[in-house]
Chains A and B, each alone.
With several copies, the nearest count.
Chain A
């Protein structure tokens, strides 16, 4: 088997797919992407507030700064496609269409939550929308994605399974096994590596001998491109191209989405391991301000548009908090329900 791709390299070292998807989408589409990113951002800002206020507990990993990745990739998927994600998956769940109220209620551990309150922040599920979680073992979701794709391929369903994971996951043995298996069996998986440069406190240079992760992925003989993960349009374009190829039998593809998390790894993290200046630099590239700026410059967006979107979203989120607060907690007697399908109590 030979290498299946050799993406061209631009001067700056970033390689972009050679083929171009047919004409860009218009302003309405861009506004939609913007609004989705704002939605995730505002949702998570609220979560941080609720966590500090003692209403959300356990682990909370926010996606702030990385929204362009989930929004861009999701824009390339259809409702028939599947998603497997990590513990940093609020964004993926929301853009997938898991109802806000259900996601928020899950943060509160209520029975109206998308996982019945059982999972919390790290374990959002919505099988009706083919959203398969919410996996908190690093790289633990990759084999599931491979298996979902295997089922699709064996049945002849032309689905894509989008599998999200971080740069840290690339060091795990499971990553390797899954890349090989997907490539060997030509499975319809879209691997989406969210390279935010850190695995908790460990910078990628101290974790990966080869920090060019797309190059690493390519060594399995699979098309792999680095993408500017702070630019939602770039992500959307690359994802569309990749997803179309996957869907039409092109086998697995790998996107290295170069991004950054603006906040600490989790609410427990004092964030001592990186320079404040580095964080500030990346914040200059905030995907929301970036897209908004572009759209404003193109005359597609006014301050009022933004403000009213922000207000609408805020109202929706506030309502979801109210409904989550009011929702019932699971009775303790149901604790053992769903350990097995047949022995619900």
Chain B
């Protein structure tokens, strides 16, 4: 796996016929394209149809594809996720939308004990070519039960692939590649990204889902992030640059399997690392990344790896408390300063 260097979407695209769009629209375009290309593909989940998706991702698709393929489900997370697994076993290519990661716990048994396990347990017979999309993360003042970032848990499960598109190009391009994977792929879309605006080539299409991307090159420190925190990491890097600290920013893109090569290459260059992760610190994905750097690049490190994570509290409703609980630009900047000191 090799790292690819690409621009943060805030920067203008440089090739093709760039059009202004949003992350939401890019995701929708990806679903539409998949539905058109392969009639085994269908979208299933709560309110994906007449409501248009709880984040309006699938708005308009019901009219185009009809209720068989844009399939509203009852509030039965375990059953419809499991039905997605069964349909995938039966030859379809379902895209199952779980409104948010918060509700995915109700389907976790199906995801772990069936989707992730059937292939190995059956000795290679039962493939589950399923894609599950879900929104993750906090930041909209929706309080303790609606603000989880639990992708780290899913990244623990052998048999799954996890991706977290953080850019328009990835929102547009990861789905098709995920659908072509013979194994289950989970797509985590951070709720704060849907309105992200930028440009995307008219011919933007499938992208790899194997490698991390270096979104900003730099030599002083490596900042590792993904999904909803990439923008904060980029902003922090900008602020640090003004102070003469040159940060390299990695967007993990794929949370399982992790692209160790890209991470270690950067560590080998900068010797200092800050990991940004919206999960609660203890036991978050950031812990695994830190442990791997310990194992694979200990002697490259000039300072201990630092983590900027969420406070270990149920996310509270008031804005100032929610902000205090989540990773913020200031915290990233401070952590970087501490490691480059």
Q: B-contacting residues of A (Cβ < 8 Å)? A: 57-59, 82, 84, 109-110, 113-120, 122-123, 125-127, 132-140, 142-152, 154-155, 168-169, 171-174, 177-178, 180-181, 184, 199-202, 206-208, 268-270, 272-273, 329-330, 332, 335-342, 344
Q: CB < 8 Å: which of A82, A133, A171, A341 contacts B75?
A: A171
Contact with A along B71-91 (1 / 0, CB 8 A): 011111111111111111111
Scan residues 43-75 of chain B and give those whose CB is less than 8 A from a CB of chain A: 46-47, 49-52, 54, 68, 72-75
Name the B residues within 8 Å of A139 (CB-CB).
75
Name the A residues within 8 Å of B12 (CB-CB).
none
Say yes or no: A122 contacts B143, CB within 8 Å: yes
Given contacts A139-B75, A200-B46, 9 further A-B pairs with CB under 8 A are: A58-B143, A109-B318, A109-B319, A116-B123, A116-B124, A118-B143, A118-B318, A151-B91, A335-B313
Name the A residues within 8 Å of B113 (CB-CB).
137, 140
A181–B314 Cα distance when bound, in Å, is 29
Say yes or no: A168 contacts B114, CB within 8 Å: no
The 4 closest A-B pairs by CB, nearest first: A147-B86, A143-B82, A116-B123, A201-B51
A to B contact number (C-beta, < 8 Å): 269
Say yes or no: B325 contacts A335, CB within 8 Å: yes
Say yes or no: A150 contacts B90, CB within 8 Å: yes
19 A–B pairs (Cβ distance < 8 Å), ordered by A: A59-B142, A84-B86, A109-B316, A117-B123, A118-B122, A123-B317, A132-B126, A143-B79, A146-B82, A146-B86, A147-B85, A171-B76, A172-B106, A178-B82, A202-B46, A202-B72, A268-B54, A336-B312, A340-B119
Say yes or no: A171 contacts B123, CB within 8 Å: no
Say yes or no: B91 contacts A118, CB within 8 Å: no
Known: A177-B79, A332-B324. A339 touches B122 (CB 8 A): no
Q: CB < 8 Å: which of A119, A152, A270, A335 contacts B121?
A: A119
Name the A residues within 8 Å of B297 (CB-CB).
none
Q: A-contacting residues of B (Cβ < 8 Å)? A: 42, 46-47, 49-52, 54, 68, 72-92, 94, 102-103, 106, 109-110, 113-114, 118-127, 140-146, 158-159, 161, 181-183, 311-314, 316-321, 324-325
Say yes or no: A338 contacts B123, CB within 8 Å: yes
A140–B121 Cα distance when bound, in Å, is 15
Say yes or no: B90 contacts A113, CB within 8 Å: no
Q: CB < 8 Å: which of B47, B76, B90 contacts A173?
A: B76
Say yes or no: A109 contacts B109, CB within 8 Å: no
Question: Of residues B49, B84, B87, B110, which shows the largest number of chain A Cβ atoms within 10 Å of its Cβ?
Answer: B87
Known: A202-B46, A272-B52. A137 touches B109 (CB 8 A): yes
Q: CB < 8 Å: which of B80, B91, B125, B325 contacts A181?
A: B80
Measured CB to CB, the nearest residue on chain A to B92 is: A151
